């Protein structure tokens, strides 16, 4: 018996995505829950598992193609079913690996054909297809070096450079200024002229980096950012953390200052609700959220991702520490689901482990603010009689100036600093 596996719901307000990579091939026998493809959305990249076990007899998803929730990804045959009926179709199986149904899209090239790189639809990652569109390049015209026929960014850039060289003799004098202008873009295009000044190595951006660039670029262009700086005295917090760390370890939690700070943030958001809001300029409304889902940036080998810790105001410091560690582990292993990266109301970016005394974090739209943390330093602080050493934490608060004024930003950050400076109040819920 054959079963169709359809693309499931991808998350809140996400109905479609781009197939980034197929993880199975025709003929593979998969188990229930095995990941079968990667889907790229505006939010993230996620591996999609198939809940049914069986043998893959048809793949309708294509790398680089857009799919909607409910579209058929692949067709399975129950692994326990007799193999006699489908066997006659076995000889053309190699070509079937890259075929699609006639009702879906044009077939991709068969891997058995030597000139596959120039026939049918050229295989390429979404970022490479985007580069081809930006450079007005037909992928079918690009010489592909990969033996498997998959186009790369280097192939496209080499093709564009060759095309420009061929066109240059008749228009060089007239087009030089225009080419110089095109060589530096606003981030939307890609320049290939930089190599005339020296050797340039072209490195293709991975999917997470592309999504990060697009989202942060959009946020920076659309939101008037202002950043306010302050410092919190975390001498007492660090002493309390060390005192509780051993007991927390016995419960499987690595207690960090970040857990205390994440516990304090919802209290500041309740006191200053505009920092927990979104702006709807079309209807001229503020969306004041009555829940406190805090995102925290995690640096992974594949790029920056932001898992979301839900209902942080309802959790203890120990619970927050445990959940943060679990989410960070999933982020580094690329096991986060889309839902675990959605619904945040405020974000924290912690660079304390790397260094620096301050930075300007970019707001994670549609949120209204983001908190940046830098490395704490022991500094002399005058207490009215003498200078004493205190451990100070630099904090950087970027906020949407359309809905938040500078005075409120100063009040918010000072309230948060004072909450962190009295960690026992956090522990007792005061």
Please list the active-site residues: 401
- Give whole-number Cα distances, 308 to 293, 336, 337, 396, in Å: 6, 10, 11, 20
Q: What is the 3-state secondary structure (H, E, C) of the chain?
A: CEEEEECCCCCCCCCEEEEEEECCCCCCEECCCEEEEEEECCCCEEEEEECCCEEEEEECCCCCCEEECCCEEEEEECCCCCCCCCHHHCCCHHHHCCCCCCCCCCCCCCCCCCCHHHCCCCEECHHHHHHHHHCCCCHHHCCCCCCCCEECHHHHHHHHHHHHHHHHHHHHHHHHHHHHHHHCCCCCCCCCHHHHCCCCCCCCCCHHHHHHHHHHHHHHHHCCEEEEEEEEECHHHHHHHHHHHHHHHHCCCCCCHHHHHHHHHHHHHHHCHHHHEEEECCCCEEEECCCCCEEECEEECCEEECCEECCHHHCCHHHHHHHHHHHHHHHHCCCCCCHHHCCCCEEEEECCCCCCCCCCCCCCCCCCEEEEECCCEEEEEECCCCEEEEEEEEEEEEEECCCCCHHHHHHHHHHHHHHHHCHHHHHHCC
């Amino acid at each position: 018996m054959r079963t169709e596996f359809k693309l499931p719901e991808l998350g809140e307000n996400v109905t479609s995505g781009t197939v980034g990579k197929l993880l199975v091939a025709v003929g593979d026998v998969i188990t229930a829950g095995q990941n079968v493809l990667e889907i790229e959305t505006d939010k993230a990249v996620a591996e999609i598992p198939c809940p049914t076990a069986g043998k893959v007899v048809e793949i309708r998803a294509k790398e680089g193609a857009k799919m909607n929730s409910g579209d058929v990804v692949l067709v399975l045959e129950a692994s326990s079913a007799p193999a006699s009926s489908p066997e006659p179709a076995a000889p053309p199986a190699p070509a079937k690996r890259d075929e699609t149904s006639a009702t879906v899209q044009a077939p991709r090239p068969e891997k058995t054909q030597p000139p596959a790189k120039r026939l049918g639809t050229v295989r390429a990652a979404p970022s490479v297809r985007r580069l081809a569109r930006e450079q007005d390049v037909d992928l079918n015209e690009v010489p592909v070096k990969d033996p498997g026929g998959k186009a790369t960014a280097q192939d496209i850039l080499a093709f564009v450079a060759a095309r420009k060289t061929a066109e240059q003799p008749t228009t060089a004098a007239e087009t030089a200024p225009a080419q110089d202008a095109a060589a530096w873009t606003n981030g939307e295009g890609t320049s290939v002229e930089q190599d005339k000044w020296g050797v340039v190595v072209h490195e293709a951006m991975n999917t997470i980096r592309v999504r990060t660039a697009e989202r942060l670029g959009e946020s920076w262009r659309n939101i008037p950012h202002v950043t306010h700086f302050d410092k919190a005295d975390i001498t007492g917090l660090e002493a309390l953390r060390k005192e509780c760390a051993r007991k927390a370890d016995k419960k499987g939690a690595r207690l960090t200052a970040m857990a205390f700070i994440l516990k304090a943030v919802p209290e500041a958001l309740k006191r200053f609700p505009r920092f927990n809001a979104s702006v709807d300029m079309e209807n001229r409304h503020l969306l004041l959220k009555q829940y406190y889902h805090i995102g925290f940036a995690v640096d992974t080998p594949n790029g920056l991702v932001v898992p979301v810790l839900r209902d942080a105001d309802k959790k203890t410091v120990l619970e927050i520490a445990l959940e943060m560690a679990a989410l960070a582990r999933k982020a580094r292993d690329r096991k986060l689901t889309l839902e675990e990266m959605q619904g945040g109301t405020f974000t924290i970016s912690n660079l304390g482990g790397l260094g620096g005394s301050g930075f300007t974090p970019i707001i994670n739209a549609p949120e209204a603010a983001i908190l940046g943390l830098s490395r704490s330093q022991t500094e002399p602080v005058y207490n009215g009689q003498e200078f004493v050493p205190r451990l100070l934490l630099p904090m950087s608060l970027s906020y949407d100036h359309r809905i938040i004024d500078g005075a409120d930003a100063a009040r918010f950050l000072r309230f948060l600093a004072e909450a962190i400076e009295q960690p026992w109040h956090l522990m007792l819920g005061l």
